[in-house]
Structure 1
Amino acid sequence: MPTFLPRPLATAVIAATATLALAPLAQAQNTLEEVVVTAQKRAENVQDVPIAISVFTAENVEDLSARNLGDLGQFTAGVEMDVFKSLQPTYSIRGVQTNDWTVGSDPAVAVYIDGVYAARGAGAETALVDLARIEVLKGPQGTLFGRNATGGAIHLVTQDPVFEQEGRAKLSVGNYGRVDGELMWNQPLTDDLAVRVVAVSRNRDGYVENLNGTDLNDEDIQAIRGSLLWNPTPDTDVRWRLEYSELDQHSAARQTTIASVFENANPGRSYSDFGKIHTDYVNREARDQFATSLQVDHSFGDKTFTSITAWREFNTELDEDLDGSNNLDHLFNSNNPEENDYFSQEFRLTGASDKLKWTTGATFSREHVSHLTTAVFNVSTLESFAWAELLKGAGSETSDVFLATFAGQTPEDLEYLATLSNSEIDELAPSFRQQQRDAGLDGIAASSFVWAFLNGEGTLGDFGLSDNPFIGIFQQILPSLQPRIAAYEPWVEEVYSDGTYESYAVYGDATYSITDRMNLSAGLRYTYDEKEFSLFSQYQNTIAGANFGLAFYNNGQPLLDATQSDSWDNLSGRVVLDYALADDTMLYASVATGFKSGGFNSLNFGPDIDTSYDEEEVINYEVGSKGQYFDRSLQLNASAFFYDYQNLQELKLLGQPIPSYNLRNSDAEGYGIELETYWLATDNLTLAGNYSWLKTEYTKFRILEAAGETEEDDLTGKPRVGTPEHKVNLSAEYRWQLGDFGALLPRIDYTWSSERVESLNDPAREIDAFYLINARIALLPDNGDWEVALWTTNLTDEEHFGEYGDNGDAVGSLTGARIPPRMYGADFIYNF
């Protein structure tokens, strides 16, 4: 695959002189427009805010053909947004993220919609339609945005109603049967009352061809949003917003990347990474969501009082084929329905004088969440799991004896296994499993070995089981197990979790002008979080009258019915000093802290596994500059940072002999630089770009010996998961005037990311470096009544796995998720 890749040093130089438009471009003059943000809870020019912020306007979203936050994350320095699952997205800012997809914890990057916190990732993804802007705030935002903003905050701001009639209709068509529609209508009802309504529908066929008849990774989304603006007095604004959306699509598809898993189940077909797949369980994401908020702003003198009352609720269902195949020996499916409701209230008072600008406030929120995880295997999956674990344990006496016996060799013949990479081991596991079947060892012999391994008891010797103290148990269970293996009998386990979370906070922040050029900002927030969490697990399977578990098994942990409660509190803050070298040039230095409350292990409580875990805390040191030069035709922003993370919450497979997902705490640090620049090179040509360099590593990694971890599992000094060291974005747009008729705007966007560590459970596994190119050409008449555009994303049709799945890897079928292929289409826009 070609990389078009500059060297890191050259990359930094290029990024400082050209790239992506994350700020509005000039219209008819060679001067950058001002962008107003509310990052400090008051309206300010983004260039005057001493925080590293990337801003997308509505025009930017359209230019990039972005349909979700993940599309925008590709083009943001220091930011990764993984939305392969719309219901379990991961947002990472400067390497700070939460890899937990369960409901016992909170995200590390807070998503806000019109000032209201979207408490769960499942409710954070929203249609990027009729937005005023999207602000991406980098670094901890503990003071003004509060809890769960240790990595940063993403704030989506919708367009307010206006007091004039206007409308907009947009139709998008494209390959894979894409038909998208958007409609906006704004209507003043009286002199002091206006309403705005937006409706959107997105439909596209799947791009992953599935041999079971249902193509996967399609889109089927509908949403309607309404807002009402009322000005009862000259000093009072009342905004009532509501939104309802539905999502029901065969998305979040993963496929096995192990050729033998696919080929053993599909005789005569050859496996291809980007060819047809065959699953035996249809992936599906579904969500119904309703949200409403009431915001009241009242000004008196130089002060403004704000009240935001909000309610959000959603119901979701996530069905996944976690082994990504139709191979019954590796069957692993899951169903995850979830219900969530969230209430919040914020009171805020802001004021300003010649020397002092200040904000103070209080917030309260209450969230109730319930989640059911159902894991479905076949009884034969237990043996596939055992083979995967045996091969990963190659080099140990027990594993080598097992493997040698089934391969008809001696342990010495298999010493090479210990030198293989995990990816090579992944390919071997199904082969050993197939050798076992071909040798007719599905019955008592094979199961004895497997169950002896799984129970980790007794001495195996030369497999003469006479010295095994559990031979009596084997003799009881194996006669009933053998026909169940041959019949591919289902094996079902369930875990139900229910949580009620309350949070209280008070905060204050102020900026004092020391001189005409120097400002000092400082703020504090006190947060108190209280959580109650219930967990109930059950195994809908028995062997010889006893209950057994695979997915939620931990050192023999039986069925569980328990309720836990805990509380956490924290004082977070920031201090910032900024200095204006000139009217359009600023330097700043800051120290800021962030806090994310502790939580509970949602999939397992068990021996030597903590029921709850500690809160995260981060301290971030940063220096930066923001400047506009050459009569505001060139903008260059830069920042350098270092952060220290304590009690980082990580989800990891733990436990022996069968691991299960559990959360644990570790420490980490990160440092890097970010550059963003926009250059109006001529009246018609705009170049822009950004570059980020990021280094992360674990500074302390807790070893749980009781859960089977050893020194080899210690990741101290290793990089964090999911964060590339280098990331480059470049773009160019040219305005070609067509006489008095209008203009033609061709545009190209390029993004490149270096390789990254992909899995906490397998630090050697990496996502390869990759690049994407998007292009768009728009025809705009001077009267602005309509617009026609042709666009393409992933222009060169790059084939790339953007994510791998640990769940399938546990049963010997490592899965991968493909990035979307080349897509193209046309937009037709009419303004009225």
Structure 2
Amino acid sequence: MGIRFFSFKPEKTFLNCTTLPGWSSVIAGLLAIGFSGSVLANEQTSSGMLSIEKESADDGKLIVTADLLNESQLGLAASVSIIDEEKIRKNNATHLSEILNLAPNVNFSSGASRGRFIQIRGVGERSEFVEPINYSVGVIVDGIDLTGLAGGALLFDTQQVEILRGPQGTVYGANALAGLINIVSAAPQESLLKVSAGFESYNGQSFMLVKSEQVNEAFGYRISYGNYRSDGYVENVTLNRDDTNNFDEQGAKLNLSYKINSDFSLSGNFIWIDVDNGYDAFSLDNNRQTYSDEPGYDRQETLGASVVAKFDKNEYSLETTFAFVDSDLAYAYDEDWSYPGICDNTPCDSNSWGFDWWYSSFDKYLRNNDNWSLDFRLINHESEEAENGGDRWVLGAYFRDQSVSLIRTYTFNINDFGNNYDTRNSALYGQYDKAISSDWTISGGLRFEKIGADYFDSEGYFSALNESFWGGKLAVEYQASTQMMTYGLISRGYKGGGFNTSQMLPENQRAYDAELMWNYEIGLKGYWSENAITLQSSLFYQDRDDIQSKQSYVTSLADGQTLQDGGSCPCNFTDYFLNAKGAKTYGAEIEISWRELSWAHYYASIALLDSKFDSLQSFTHVEADLNAEPPVAFDLTGRQLAHAPESQWVVGADFLLDDWWTLNFQFESKDDFYLSDRHQVRADNYNIYHITLAYQADSWQLEVFARNLGNENIVTRGFGSFGNDPRKFYELEPYFQLGTPKILGLRAAYQW
């Protein structure tokens, strides 16, 4: 079997945290809320931007479309956040990573131009290089699977983003061990033409055009185009440029709906995404000035579609969904972060030492990622005539085929390295909701899934695996009143095993095992005070087995020795995965909204997380001692998981100043957290402020905004196990990628 290298397009044509209450206070607060009154409503924003009104529990519910039975947000026995169109706009978000912090216990890692590696409750990947990855957080856009492709998760013309926390073992199986993010685009509507444009700091420009029409009772369409461009937030002093870490993103969507008759309907969603971003993010001085002489790039061109056929007859529905996506990705960077002359007339000058203290290398990864999926569902809706509202159930079958091909071109590799990773998933699943009485409901879900995977590469290594899994949930709901629901949930998730690529690994480390998770959760949802206050809250415990932990041998380019064994940088990196024994995670999440006053709306999101390894002995940790006899690993037992901050929260308010003007103020805070399982370096905590002033009259909308008003440095990716600065003779030190600085901007929209 040969290497199936894909046809790749020319690269250029790519289309100090505030102290939170202790655990006892939080738990007491949740219980107090539960017994002091009742809440169940939804926090969907009102149709007019300037109206801040109480809403009834029966009108305008936010529906979780990722759930099998399309449950309302506050009626679903699970932890879910919905970020709607208004929140996306207020946060000036053009990409998914810019609204993730609005949801409790959700974090992300950059390591690219965008934060495309997502963690939910401390579970998720942080980077991708040579190794094929089974992702822990699924990403779906209009039924199209973009898991592992979140660099293209643009938010133009988006109706809502649903963030489901905890394993989604019934609905998405192996694709959603930690949770799921479901992006829903706006649907066709009657006669709409909308244009918007914006300008911001760093030469930022955005544009969106939307045209929608309900042609007749049977057929409607919506087509949209959006783009975002910016020079980025880095100055390259070597090249005297300020655009080497730029953003250049555009996309188009087409949504079609056709109702053939009263029983049968078709809908289609089509997306095209073209990302051509620069990647020059790391500075030897840990600031926004870089020295790279060969800036990298982060590119993605994606074409995808989903088609849904739905047949309704009485209380039954038959739904068939076919989806495919084809993506070309190019990711590259200047590995040395410097230039050959950086040592001229300095202590590291080779004329002074007799040999060169600097190196120069460039690393490039070209991937093709394509997959298709087919999903059949037979749904029995509850009967209104039945006692207690009747029962509901779903039976389904799912098939998915994915192929990922890689070519790596690297300065220190004589030949390009290529590999292929092909996976096939097939599953049977079902869910049954039983109303025991008018107050009690039991919901059970079960999924059986088979995964087959093949891996082969240009070094002649081939391996395959076939695995079987089961996952699901059992939830008990108690409707304490028409205004309050409490629930208990047990759910089980999984993801398949995988393969390591390096020939330097012993044979018993060339593959690693599947990972499993049990999630236990209790929650309270509801509304008080004539729907003026809405609440979602939960306490959870997660037990993970055979954690897939990413490790890396860091070896000297000069002699191949590991740093722990006496080697020195400049360095080479060999990533691989191993299975840690397990981890335990406890947490609390609260989302609350208050609309008691006609002129103000207050909201908050609070998350606490306590996550620790059960047992992990790391021989690749920077503090491991490989010179000892026998070698001594670094003990990570009891240590906090990487990218799992112990607290994070958002507090905000909307103020109606008069009939035309509104003011939004938002405060965001995140605790510090470890950046990797390989070292002890942490991202600092941060507190940032945002403000938006908006004017609306008739069809016009005008907004002035400021993001990160205090210009706080936010670490979104970091290293702590090697040295890369020749001026310091490559001594070990931490390096950080910084997030968005202070941004000032203006945006206008007009709608016909």
Deviation per CA, 1:799-823, whole angstroms, max 9, x where unpaired?
Answer: 2433213686476575321112111
Measured after TM superposition, the shift of residue 376 of structure 1 is 2.4
TM-score by length of 1: 0.76
Aligned with residue 243 of structure 1, among 271, 289, 295: 271
Q: Distance in 2 between matches of 1:713 and 1:626?
A: 43
Matched, 1:222 2:143: no
Q: Distance in 2 between matches of 1:221 and 1:583?
A: 46
> Are the counterparts in 2 of residues 801 and 816 from structure 1 also a CA contact under 8 Å?
yes
Aligned with residue 475 of structure 2, among 576, 593, 609: 576
Q: Distance in 2 between matches of 1:735 and 1:100?
A: 43
Secondary structure of 2:312's partner?
A: strand
Q: 1:81 to 1:512 in 2, by over 3 A?
A: same
Matched, 1:306 2:341: no
Aligned with residue 29 of structure 1, among 53, 57, 60: 53
In structure 1, the residue matched to 2:146 is 118
Deviation per CA, 1:610-638, whole angstroms, max 9, x where unpaired?
Answer: 22211110001111110201111011221
Aligned with residue 464 of structure 2, among 559, 565, 580: 565
> Are the counterparts in 1 of residues 718 and 736 from structure 2 also a CA contact under 8 Å?
yes
The 5 A counterparts of 1:576-595 are 576-595=475-494
Deviation per CA, 1:133-192, whole angstroms, max 9, x where unpaired?
Answer: 111001111111221211111111112223x21111100111211121100001234431
Q: 1:509 to 1:724 in 2, by over 3 A?
A: same
In structure 2, the residue matched to 1:663 is 577
> Are the counterparts in 2 of residues 330 and 812 from structure 1 also a CA contact under 8 Å?
no
In structure 1, the residue matched to 2:3 is none
Matched, 1:200 2:229: no
Query: What amino acid sits opposite 2:410 in the alignment?
Result: A
Q: 1:604 to 1:634 in 2, by over 3 A?
A: farther
TM-score by length of 2: 0.84
Measured after TM superposition, the shift of residue 639 of structure 1 is 0.5
Deviation per CA, 1:682-709, whole angstroms, max 9, x where unpaired?
Answer: 0111111011110111112255699959
Secondary structure of 2:461's partner?
A: strand
Deviation per CA, 1:552-577, whole angstroms, max 9, x where unpaired?
Answer: xxxxxxxx321111111101111000
Matched, 1:727 2:648: yes
Unaligned stretches of 5+ in structure 1? 258-272, 378-490, 537-559
Matched, 1:525 2:441: no
Aligned with residue 694 of structure 1, among 599, 606, 609: 609
Secondary structure of 1:44's partner?
A: coil
The 5 A counterparts of 1:348-747 are 348-353=377-382, 354-376=389-411, 494-536=416-458, 560-604=459-503, 606-654=505-553, 657-658=561-562, 660-666=574-580, 667-701=582-616, 710-737=631-658, 742-747=659-664
> Are the counterparts in 1 of residues 42 and 61 from structure 2 also a CA contact under 8 Å?
no
In structure 2, the residue matched to 1:154 is 181
Query: What amino acid sits opposite 1:791 in the alignment?
Result: F
> Are the counterparts in 2 of residues 217 and 251 from structure 1 also a CA contact under 8 Å?
yes
Matched, 1:761 2:678: yes
Deviation per CA, 1:494-550, whole angstroms, max 9, x where unpaired?
Answer: 4311111111111001110011011101011001110110122xxxxxxxxxxxxxx
Matched, 1:60 2:87: yes
In structure 1, the residue matched to 2:690 is 774
Secondary structure of 1:74's partner?
A: helix
> Are the counterparts in 2 of residues 118 and 124 from structure 1 also a CA contact under 8 Å?
no
Q: Distance in 2 between matches of 1:769 and 1:500?
A: 40
In structure 1, the residue matched to 2:740 is 820
Secondary structure of 1:70's partner?
A: helix
Q: 1:5 to 1:290 in 2, by over 3 A?
A: same
Aligned with residue 129 of structure 1, among 156, 161, 167: 156
Q: Distance in 2 between matches of 1:732 and 1:15?
A: 22
Q: Distance in 2 between matches of 1:210 and 1:655?
A: 27
Structure with max Cα Rg: 1
Query: What amino acid sits opposite 1:591 in the alignment?
Result: I
Query: What amino acid sits opposite 2:432 in the alignment?
Result: A
Q: Which has the higher helix share?
A: 1
> Are the counterparts in 1 of residues 168 and 493 from structure 2 also a CA contact under 8 Å?
yes
> Are the counterparts in 1 of residues 519 and 540 from structure 2 also a CA contact under 8 Å?
yes
Secondary structure of 1:329's partner?
A: coil
Q: Distance in 1 between matches of 2:503 and 2:139?
A: 28
Measured after TM superposition, the shift of residue 247 of structure 1 is 1.1
Measured after TM superposition, the shift of residue 301 of structure 1 is 1.2
Q: 1:746 to 1:348 in 2, by over 3 A?
A: same
Q: 1:22 to 1:827 in 2, by over 3 A?
A: farther
Query: What amino acid sits opposite 1:502 in the alignment?
Result: R
Q: Distance in 1 between matches of 2:416 and 2:722?
A: 18
Q: Distance in 2 between matches of 1:75 and 1:681?
A: 22
Q: Distance in 1 between matches of 2:113 and 2:432?
A: 38
The 5 A counterparts of 1:282-361 are 282-326=295-339, 327=342, 329-353=358-382, 354-361=389-396
Unaligned stretches of 5+ in structure 2? 1-15, 34-40, 343-356, 383-388, 556-560, 563-572, 725-729
> Are the counterparts in 2 of residues 322 and 807 from structure 1 also a CA contact under 8 Å?
no
> Are the counterparts in 2 of residues 248 and 284 from structure 1 also a CA contact under 8 Å?
yes
User: How many residues end up aligned between the 2 structures?
Assistant: 667
Secondary structure of 1:336's partner?
A: strand
